[in-house]
Amino acid sequence: MRVLAAMSGGVDSAVAAARAVEAGHDVVGVHLALSRMPGTLRTGSRGCCTIEDSQDAWRACERLGIPYYVWDFSERFKEDVVDDFIAEYAAGRTPNPCMRCNERIKFAALLEKALALGFDAVATGHYAKVVRDADGRPELHRASDWAKDQSYVLGVLTEQQLEHCLFPLADAASKADVRAEAERRGLAVASKPDSHDICFIPDGDTRGWLAERIEMEPGDIVSAEGEKLGEHPGAHAYTVGQRRGLGIGRPAPDGKPRFVLEIRPKSNEVVVGPERMLDVVQLTGIRVSWAGRPLDEAERGEPFPVLVQVRAHGDPEPGTARVTEGDDGERRLVVDLDEPMRGVAPGQTMVVYQGTRVLGQATIDSARSAELAASADRSPDAR
């Protein structure tokens, strides 16, 4: 099988490529150039797409004896990931750029080009696995090492894409074992630290980065009941669940800290209140997609049990899901939680599971807090 190995420059992708070679596949390595900013070096950077990363990827391919190429996807990355990130924050939502990158770059643009060039599959260093059902259709499942499982960020993959995905690290026992294997194979990246944070914000200062790209428009900080408590320099600088830096001069009547409960982009308001109001009981998602064949219940609009995860390293929580249709004709995934979930923001991705299987995902459009909704209804300015 002809396999295109996506080489990030890290230890996981290097070992994944090595395993693909060892399995007898005809492997070609490719590193994606996602930024045209000169001088983007690892020093002081916490992302995954630096100049040194491309050099590390090249050295790994040299060691494995496979061809190596760099593909320039910087323009598409800017449009599909960076610009989307800015637009989502400007609209008062909290996006996950890694999800968009996997969806639109690594498993859309990259896979599309790979297939056009005659490759059969794209191999990556993600910790996840593809399992075939009784009819031979692909399903996405969690990796053997749940501590490193990355099925959440792959929840955007479709059945057609899963047909051409290869995850050689699916059954890796642990990250420590992968590093030890890289050492045995003579790969220089064996002890390279993991990347983290957003690759196009290398210093990790998301608020400062956004301030240079979104016009700051002052507005009001209000209570859940609609009372004005203070002013903010720009709503996009706040996130649901935030406690510090609210800039409210007077304390809450009960003396307890306030938290950001909601961002209202239309009125440019930041809603704050007690921590208990962060508890949500229902999630509604748009842009629904299925990682493989949808459940029959989902197709019929019937309820089905799920585990829902809203963060890459968050714990899955039980609930009951159903697919509905909005006034605009778009499908929506609604999940009623068995127990309240804290601090969920519109724009986040919810991935739903049954056991280890990823059923699909949706972008959270609303997260309903029973207490916050009741407070808004009591407000004379209820919106």
Catalytic center residues: 101, 199
User: Distance from first CA to last CA of the chain, Å, rounded?
Assistant: 57
Strand partners, 354: 357
CA-CA distance, 293 to 154, in Å (whole number)? 15
Question: What is the chain's length?
Answer: 383
- Cβ(168)–Cβ(20) below 8 Å: yes
- Cβ(114)–Cβ(165) below 8 Å: no
- Look up residue 363 and give its two tokens: 């972008």
Extended beta strands in the chain, E state: 2-6, 26-33, 68-72, 121-123, 128-132, 138-142, 165-166, 219-223, 228-232, 259-264, 269-273, 279-290, 304-309, 317-325, 331-342, 349-354, 357-368
Strand partners, 333: 285, 323
Sheet of strand 68-72: strand arrangement = 68-72, 26-33, 2-6, 121-123, 165-166
- Cβ(123)–Cβ(3) below 8 Å: yes
Q: Using only the alpha carbons of the chain, give its radius of gyration.
A: 22
With CA atoms as reference, report the closest residue to 308 among 290, 329, 283: 283
CA-CA distance, 199 to 318, in Å (whole number)? 32
